[in-house]
Structure 1
């Protein structure tokens, strides 16, 4: 029986080799050279989830992931709040994918600069763009370039060790900070600004950020949104963390919650629970224990609804900010579809720090790739880039900057499914041999670019964790590309 099985298997292999277009003149074939080769640009959640699904869906596909930085994991490393270590557990799954025999990681490769999309398309059967949203949405108001105004992306990058934000050095000598936007990132920034240092000391927040926050004079944080409590963009987990944050008390405007109680019954369950917690925090008289806790608090936070930025106000010297002028809005429509309309009234708030958390924005990578600059996404249908055969996209580049990591996972799986469907149906021709990383590595070498492998990253990881261990932290991140490369290659 085993002999028969062996013969059948041998015949099947010979038959498959006969039909494979990559048999050389000598009649020999490399199974690897016959494999469909896919290249993914970007090693954040979108890139890794796309790779994971492709490897699982087809036993022959080979995936190469290219990343501009020497370190992988994108916003899991540089976006997730330091006090949310449980969210970073997805790194374990991504590591398994990166170590799979059919997956390779190439860090320190700047696609669009070191190698073009066209060159990747020549080397691979398919190219998936998953490089996320590294731009900032502009407020579009006078004074937003003054000292003391930061984008949430840069502020988060600063305390999370993103090399390009290392020099940010925000001035935290003021008492009041205003955050524009009411999503989870806005609440992350508020929480980090107000968290007791003893909590932050046990996280992987960077040492310079820890030192700056230890000296911070910020005692009051206002989280401003253009619509009302029913339209707030954060989730209940983040709100609960704010409500329970040690040494803080909420400071809300009761009038902002007029008519909210009446609307509760028509809300979907998650939105209803979130709104109920807000109402309770804003309007209910707390119990004795909570009252005592609040009375001892030295810091305050609060939502300000129905407000839009009109102008950042400057000090007399015009060198830095003195406050922000907010337009007062009213809502037209109801529920999620309600939109803010100006009333003509304004309100000035004195503050020394403004963090704009109104959204990340994807940027075009290469003139050859279609890009919708109004929506800041690549035009696509289920991840297939329009009018560009063999080109796909996943993550925020595909949808815009929405949702949490689980949302990105599902949208990346969808892209991977589209790609596999195209391979299976023959819409994407994978019969001709492609050189994959072989030719790209040769190009990079010629251009003086040395990629960082996943085992090189593991050296960086090891050093960071050892540095953290000595100060009671999970890790102490290396803050410059130079340091990272030095550790990777020694």
Structure 2
């Protein structure tokens, strides 16, 4: 007689994970590692390729960081793990479809949108989101068709985090340096012809409040044809910052200040490109006739806030900077999922330790639905931050399993569900299919001077090479 207890071999706990970035994989691992509970995980991604921002966001010259995908490969090798790539929620499957075949759904969809500056002229040609630029140079299919006019001399990158640093570093790199990475072919060609020689990194707060890491800051100074420029007065701390630094010890911040002061003390080397660090300035307007030609900034000063931090406050001093292209890198935010509550201000799905709650229903728990990663907590932390975050959510899921509070699907049968996906005429990509794409990309890179890989940048390309491989052809050129 079959055991009807949920989580047994006869009646496995079925969980759908929407999104295949780090938070999704860490959630899958924690689910599949639970002693005494039989779990089946179905992971979905709207792209044929897994790994989220590890593939589409991490800079192409940061291959060591990307090696974390080997951990995800091991998770995907679990016999109860299934990957459905090129399957999009809302296009191919609905939320109701997922709940009809799973006891729980975990949304690991990240924060796909970017925050805007909210200033006049922001929509002028030549004003771009760093999110778009990063996706473009990382061969993300959503951004393949974009173009960036790099024919001018001056770029301003608004923001003082690691994404801003990545954008500045890519712009300041030589084509030879970029050719050793897995940067998209179309981006490599465009950057090879770039005329950008001055890159300004613009931060609204002071040097002590910069959010980038020492590693990223040092890397700027290691480029072959670029020099980092910092005015000694710009990196000098005011009295409030000096006191704040003493009262709030931070090793990374101290390292940043040390590196910035070294840049400020260095002689002008006459490098082909310059990366200029500027602080305490906020854009107030972009101007231009048909495209961006200048940026007006207001100079800021720091003032204490009630939380002990120092916040920028605008002064009456303004400056106009000639500029040819602008990238805003001031943060990501999540986007709503149809049928689920959403916090517009925070850009997250409301939740209690990962359980989705509905503020319109007095924060009642939405049965059987959970969140992990940036859509849960906002765009904070590093890749590793997602592991404890995912574990917290999965622990809440197991608590609901024990309490009988998960979803009751109509047909908790994996075979039936796989047939439903097939009937939707979706070109679903399995993990084995992804490994074929992966192998071909690596082979293409090896054939082009030993690059880590040459990425496919169109979904149709990926589907075509899989079909070609199945019929015995070769599409690795």
TM over 0.5: yes
2:165 and 2:68 mapped to 1: Cα distance? 22
Alignment partner of 1:20 is 2:1: no
Matched position secondary structure for 1:113? coil
Alignment partner, residue 384 of structure 1: 355
2:99 and 2:62 mapped to 1: Cα distance? 38
The CA deviation string for residues 75-109 of structure 1, in whole angstroms up to 9 with x for no partner, is 11000000000001111011111121011000111
Alignment partner of 1:35 is 2:12: yes
Deviation at 1:61, TM superposition (A): 0.9
Alignment partner, residue 186 of structure 1: 164
Deviation at 1:246, TM superposition (A): 2.4
1:330-479 equivalent positions in 2, closer than 5 A: 330-333=301-304, 337-366=309-338, 368-386=339-357, 387-428=365-406, 434-471=411-448, 472-479=450-457
Where does structure 1 differ by over 6 angstroms across 4 or more consecutive aligned residues?
none
Give the number of aligned pairs. 455
Whether the 8 Å CA contact 2:334–2:347 is kept in 1: the answer is yes
1:273 and 1:258 mapped to 2: Cα distance? 12
Gaps of 5+ in 2: 358-364, 469-477
1:299 and 1:33 mapped to 2: Cα distance? 64
Moved more, 244-253 or 300-309: 244-253
1:172-251 equivalent positions in 2, closer than 5 A: 172-251=150-229
Q: Give the alignment's TM-score, normalised by structure 1.
A: 0.88
The CA deviation string for residues 312-333 of structure 1, in whole angstroms up to 9 with x for no partner, is 111xxx2211021112111111
Whether the 8 Å CA contact 1:230–1:271 is kept in 2: the answer is no
1:124-135 equivalent positions in 2, closer than 5 A: 124-135=102-113
Whether the 8 Å CA contact 2:204–2:312 is kept in 1: the answer is yes
Deviation at 1:200, TM superposition (A): 1.1
Q: Give the 3 Å change call, closer, same or farther, for CA 336–222 of structure 1 in structure 2.
A: farther
Gaps of 5+ in 1: 1-13, 23-29
Whether the 8 Å CA contact 1:309–1:324 is kept in 2: the answer is yes
1:170 and 1:453 mapped to 2: Cα distance? 34
Alignment partner, residue 290 of structure 2: 319
2:334 and 2:431 mapped to 1: Cα distance? 26
* Root mean square deviation of aligned Cα: 2.1
2:173 and 2:242 mapped to 1: Cα distance? 31
Pair member with larger Rg: 1
Matched position secondary structure for 2:230? coil
Q: Give the 3 Å change call, closer, same or farther, for CA 429–446 of structure 1 in structure 2.
A: closer
1:84 aligned to which of 62, 67, 74: 62
Deviation at 1:406, TM superposition (A): 1.1
Moved more, 303-312 or 271-280: 271-280
Q: Give the 3 Å change call, closer, same or farther, for CA 305–480 of structure 1 in structure 2.
A: same
Q: Give the alignment's TM-score, normalised by structure 2.
A: 0.90
Deviation at 1:344, TM superposition (A): 2.7
Whether the 8 Å CA contact 1:326–1:347 is kept in 2: the answer is yes
2:86 and 2:308 mapped to 1: Cα distance? 42
Moved more, 475-484 or 244-253: 244-253
Alignment partner of 1:65 is 2:29: no
1:463 and 1:176 mapped to 2: Cα distance? 37
1:298 and 1:222 mapped to 2: Cα distance? 15
1:336 and 1:38 mapped to 2: Cα distance? 42
Whether the 8 Å CA contact 1:195–1:245 is kept in 2: the answer is yes
Matched position secondary structure for 2:367? coil
2:248 and 2:263 mapped to 1: Cα distance? 19
